């Protein structure tokens, strides 16, 4: 055996585990089928702008251990996410806060806003059973219709009545003029891009890119004592129990010869008709400046389109509804029977993990494994 660990996937889970294993004196090989490291957090510099190639990523956490960990690999800027919702040309502040309520209803005080929500949530009695009921019960029907329904159905390709309630609970609802999208003590974007942060985690570790584990699985397995697998769990078992559902995302990137396209990093198109879910203007993650602090004359935007995953696409979001939950539990049973393999990360565990949760999970697993 040449290596102690073969790590399949150089995303955050794989990179953190690899770093910890190397630190513990283990020999490690990381492989990834993509031509680049960093998985979905990969960034690439275009026109002096760090472009988030697989979707906008804003780091946020309440976990001090995770924050102390990531800041060893990168310095973070003070970016605070405050997306704008565009509903047929009407602009609203997100997440749901006093600016949103004022624009929607003309209410001025928190008391008036609370009364409006209270009046509209009456239609939901009992515990909300799905995303639609949960959304109406949180912010009322008007906001549900204009800012949630269309966006959610585009993003998930499913009716809001068929989606789990927890998805909408990710968003804060506030009776203050605070439009920070996250309730997190720590937030920011790594200066130099996520790519640099992950490269620092993988410093000194052997990496092979453009290599699919399944093209030579037996050979790879023979190279290491143990495998850490961060790809889709159903793919590992050759979809033998059926396919888990994922949402995929496609990005249309454009370089524009103008300094400012939309004045904000993220604008969500919350109507049903606009085919994209959101437009990201990457330079605003770094306040429109290049690495020397100069203003950038051009801008790069990405239109994000959501679609159902099919073989050959990149899986992005696990669809954590009931059917998939049951099927995942069956795959997990198979996984537990496998020897010398750890399944980790968003795809390996089929969980709607944010970056901080993936890092925390990898650190916990590494501690357990490497003690
Ligand atoms: P991944 O990054 O998916 O890494 C898995 C890697 O395994 C990939 O590089 C893949 O190529 C490789 N792989 C898979 N199969 C094989 C194989 N057979 N052989 C070789 N390699 C293989 N989180 C936040 O905290 N904030 C955000 O703002 C945020 N925004 C997001 C926006 C989008 C559009 C998406 C999709 C996710 C977002 N997330 C965000 C979540 C974040 O991307 C994940 O939590 C994190 O990147 C997961 O890391 P991972 O290592 O589990 O998976
Ligand atoms: N959402 C919405 N309107 C918006 C933004 C989000 O209805 O303008 C809903 C949508 O269902 C989404 C969920 O809120 O899936 C969680 O949003 P978040 O931004 O956390 O999703 P992410 O893209 O980060 O996974």
Q: Give ligand 2 pocket residues (Cβ under 6 A).
A: 85, 94, 147-148, 151-152, 155, 167-168, 170-171, 268, 270
Active-site residue flag, 229: no
Whether 119 is catalytic is no
Q: Which of 121, 278, 331, 356 is catalytic?
A: 278
Cβ-contact 266, 81 below 8 angstroms: yes
Predicted local distance difference test score (pLDDT) of residue 145 = 98
170 part of the active site: yes
Over the stretch 76-106, which tens digit does the pLDDT of each residue have? 999 999 999 999 999 999 999 999 999 999 9
Q: Does 9 have pLDDT greater than 80?
A: yes
Concerning whether 346 is annotated as a catalytic residue, the answer is no
**Cis status of the peptide bond prior to 55, with omega within 30 of 0:** no
8 lines ligand 1 (CB under 6 A): yes
Out of 159, 170, 252, 308, pick the active-site residue.
170
Catalytic residue among 13, 247, 281, 331: 247
Tell whether ligand 1 has an atom less than 6 A from the beta carbon of residue 12: yes
Which DSSP category does 130 fall into?
S
Is pLDDT at 141 greater than 80 in this prediction?
yes
Task: Tell me what the mean pLDDT of segment 99-128 comes to.
Answer: 97
**183-191: average pLDDT:** 98
289 C-alpha to ligand 1 centroid (Å) = 27
- Number of the ligand closest to the Cα of 268: 2
Instruction: Specify the residue for token string 């008391």.
Output: 111
Answer yes or no: is the C-beta of 168 below 6 A from any ligand 1 atom. Answer: no
Q: How far apart are CA 42 and CA 159, in angstroms?
A: 31
pLDDT score for 1 = 75
Show the tokens assigned to 310.
């099919």
> Is 32 close to ligand 1, i.e. is its CB under 6 Å away?
yes
User: Relative to the alpha carbon of 81, which ligand is closest?
Assistant: 1
Reported as a pLDDT band with limits 50, 70 and 90, residue 288 is: very high
pLDDT of residue 23: 98
**Where is average pLDDT lowest: 3-7, 146-150, 321-325, 338-342?**
321-325
Q: Is 354 in the pocket of ligand 1 (CB under 6 A)?
A: yes
Segment 118-143 mean pLDDT: 97
Structure tokens at 137: 């019960």
Nearest listed ligand to the Cα of residue 277? 2
Cα of 295 to ligand 2 centre, how many Å? 31
Determine the pLDDT at residue 321: 86
Ligand 1 centre from 224 Cα, in Å?
Answer: 24
- 311 pLDDT above the threshold of 90: no
CA-nearest of 264, 249, 253 to 300 is 253
pLDDT recorded at residue 155: 95
Check: CB of residue 316 under 8 Å from CB of residue 346. no
- Contact by Cβ (8 Å): 210, 33: yes
> Which atom of ligand 1 lies at the shortest distance from residue 9's CA?
7
The Å distance, Cα 168 to ligand 2 centre, comes to: 7
Which one of the listed residues 45, 112, 321, 352 is annotated catalytic?
A: 352
Euclidean distance between CA atoms 345 and 357, whole angstroms: 9
How many angstroms separate the alpha carbon of residue 122 from the centre of ligand 1?
Answer: 39
C-beta 314 within 6 A of ligand 1: no
Q: Atom 6 of ligand 1 has which residue's CA nearest to it?
A: 9
Asked if the model's pLDDT at residue 329 lies above 80, the reply is yes
Distance 267 CA to ligand 1 centre (A): 22
Q: What is the mean pLDDT of residues 291-315?
A: 95
pLDDT at residue 333, rounded to an integer = 98
Describe the strand order of the beta sheet including 84-87 as a list of residue ranges. Answer: 90-93, 84-87, 266-269, 278-281, 299-308, 246-256, 317-318
In Å, what is the CA distance from 93 to each residue of 66, 104, 134? Answer: 29, 10, 20
Annotated catalytic, 303?
no
Q: Is the pLDDT of residue 335 over 90?
A: yes
> How confident is the model at residue 371, as a pLDDT?
86
For the segment 1-28, the average pLDDT, to the nearest whole number, is 97
C-alpha 59 – ligand 1 centre gap (Å): 13
Whole-prediction pTM: 0.97
Question: Any catalytic annotation for residue 286?
Answer: no
């Amino acid at each position: 055996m040449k290596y102690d660990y073969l790590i399949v996937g150089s995303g955050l889970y794989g990179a953190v585990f690899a770093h910890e294993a190397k630190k513990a004196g283990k020999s490690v090989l990381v492989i990834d089928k993509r031509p680049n490291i960093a998985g979905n957090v990969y960034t690439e510099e275009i026109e002096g702008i760090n472009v988030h190639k697989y979707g906008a990523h804003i780091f946020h956490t309440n976990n001090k251990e995770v924050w102390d960990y990531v800041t060893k690999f990168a310095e973070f800027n003070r970016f605070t996410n405050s997306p704008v919702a565009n509903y047929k040309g009407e602009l609203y502040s997100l997440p749901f806060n006093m600016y949103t309520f004022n624009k929607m209803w003309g209410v001025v005080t928190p008391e008036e806003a609370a009364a409006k929500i209270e009046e509209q949530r009456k239609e939901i009695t009992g515990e909300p059973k799905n995303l639609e009921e949960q959304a109406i019960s949180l912010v009322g029907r008007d906001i549900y219709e204009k800012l949630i329904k269309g966006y959610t159905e585009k993003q998930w390709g499913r009716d809001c009545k068929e989606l789990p309630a927890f998805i909408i609970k990710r968003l804060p609802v506030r009776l203050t003029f605070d439009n920070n999208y996250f309730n997190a003590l720590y937030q920011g974007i790594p200066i130099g891009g996520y790519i640099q942060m992950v490269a620092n985690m993988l410093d000194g570790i052997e990496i092979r890119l453009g290599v699919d584990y399944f093209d030579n699985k037996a050979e790879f397995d023979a190279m290491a004592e143990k495998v850490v697998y961060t790809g889709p769990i159903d793919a590992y078992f050759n979809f033998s129990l059926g396919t888990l559902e994922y949402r995929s995302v496609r990005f249309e990137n454009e370089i524009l010869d103008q300094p400012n396209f939309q004045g904000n990093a993220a604008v969500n198109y919350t109507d049903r008709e606009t085919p994209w879910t959101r437009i990201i203007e990457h330079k605003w993650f770094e306040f429109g400046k290049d690495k020397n602090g100069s203003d950038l004359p051009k801008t790069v935007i990405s239109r994000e389109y959501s679609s159902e995953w099919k073989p050959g696409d990149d899986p992005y979001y696990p669809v954590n509804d009931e059917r998939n939950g049951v099927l995942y539990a069956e795959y997990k049973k198979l996984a537990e029977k496998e020897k010398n393999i750890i399944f980790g990360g968003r795809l390996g565990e089929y969980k709607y993990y944010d970056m901080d949760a993936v890092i925390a999970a990898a650190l916990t697993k590494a501690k357990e494994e490497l003690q």
